Amino acid sequence: MDAIDTPRIQAFRREVRDFVAGQLPEAIKQRTRQGFHVSKEDMRDWTAILHRQGWSAPHWPTAYGGTDWSPLQRMVFDIELALGWAPAPSPFGLHLIGPVIYTFGTEQQKQRYLPGILDGSQFWCQGYSEPNAGSDLASLRTSARRHGDRYIVNGQKIWTSQAQYADMIFCLVRTDGSGSKQSGISMLLIDMNTPGVTVRPIITQDMSHYVNEVFFEDVEVPADNLIGEENAGWRYAKFLLENERTASAYLPQAKQDMNRLREMIGALEGEHGPLSEDPVLDSQCAELELELAAHEMTIYRILTDNARSPSAAAASMIKIRGARLQQRLSSLWNEVLGVHALPLFTPGADSSYGEPGAAGAMSQFLIRRAVSIYGGTNEIQHSIIAKRGLHL
């Protein structure tokens, strides 16, 4: 990394670091440090603070409220935020539907939706997966039938993250069942407060409410809420998924985890003395740090090779690597804590006994099993690399 750590980048890094140190509220910082899912309020408040600085969506074009930063600056920015214990913003607006709207949306859609995404006041969720359409997403059956200037939507989505917070859902729906599975899909933007939309929680093994089922019963959606052309939704869906996989490289989170781990090792005593003097643990950390550095360089190379749009195979590759790193880091966090990691604390529960760093450890270990599932499973990413990267 030294070769790219120029004086200009160093100055930029200091500027971002000072901003986070000065602007991130202490209570939000401490909650992020614990490692639980971030609350709606923390995501909203932090996004609003970033927005006031013009930094809530650095990856967007300047015409829509983004920045003209280089890919390296954007990467440094994300890392500095994570290292300062800033919470990750909700990805569904800023990283997923925002770029779809400014790339394929109408002027009216841009004016209506982009400001609320940028300032953090409007929450979105992603209605892709259905009970029998996960990896095989094109098999989705939620239907939208056109009646004059409206669509009538019926069906069900599942695993919808943050649907309980969302004002809007971007949904893949079937508008034509006659051709190939992919050709009859459209993308609709649906107000979650429309009559006929029901959200039912799913409690995951970490005892958190993060994902949901969403049901649509005769939901009326204005035809103006269609993205692009009817039956061309598969194209927008794939554009969004590639952005999702690149955003899911999890580099900032992995760096945050590594810092947490090193801090904890520095503070804890093991059976035979300070953990910081345990050579086995030190080599386990060093191995992860090397992998993390390789991951960082790979992402940097991909971002700079392809400017704003990495290839599908590259996006899949960094998603797999990032997911594995996150899983291994959370495993080591639990190993280091030993028995202290066993209780499953939930956010806000009494965690005043045991090691202070243990509060979110088990919760995070459990939920991290899902990072190699959402956004497309590792097996699906391997198939994309084989087909689109290696042309097998």
Give contact residues for ligand FAD (rule: CB under 6 A): 125-129, 134-135, 159-161, 211, 370, 373-374, 376-377, 379-380, 383
| Least distance (Å) between residue 121 CB and ligand FAD | 20
Cα–Cα distance, 202 to 160 (Å, whole number): 9
CB 174 within 8 A of CB 141: yes
User: What length does the chain have?
Assistant: 392
Phi, psi of 99 (to 5 degrees): -60, -30
- 207/380 with CB nearer ligand FAD: 380
CA dihedral (123, 129, 135, 141) positive or negative = negative
CB 175 within 8 A of CB 225: no
| Least distance (Å) between residue 135 CB and ligand FAD | 3
| Least distance (Å) between residue 97 CB and ligand FAD | 12
- 56/372 with CB nearer ligand FAD: 372
| Least distance (Å) between residue 302 CB and ligand FAD | 22
**130 counts as catalytic:** no
For strands 168-174 and 124-127, give the pairing.
parallel
- 23/377 with CB nearer ligand FAD: 377
94 burial via Cβ count (<10 Å: 0-12, 13-18, 19+): buried
Q: Which residue is catalytic, options 107, 230, 244, 296?
A: 244
Cα–Cα distance, 357 to 377 (Å, whole number): 30
- Give the CB-nearest residue to ligand FAD: 134
- What separation in angstroms does the CA of 122 have from each of 33, 99, 114, 152? 25, 15, 9, 24
Q: List residues with catalytic annotation.
A: 244
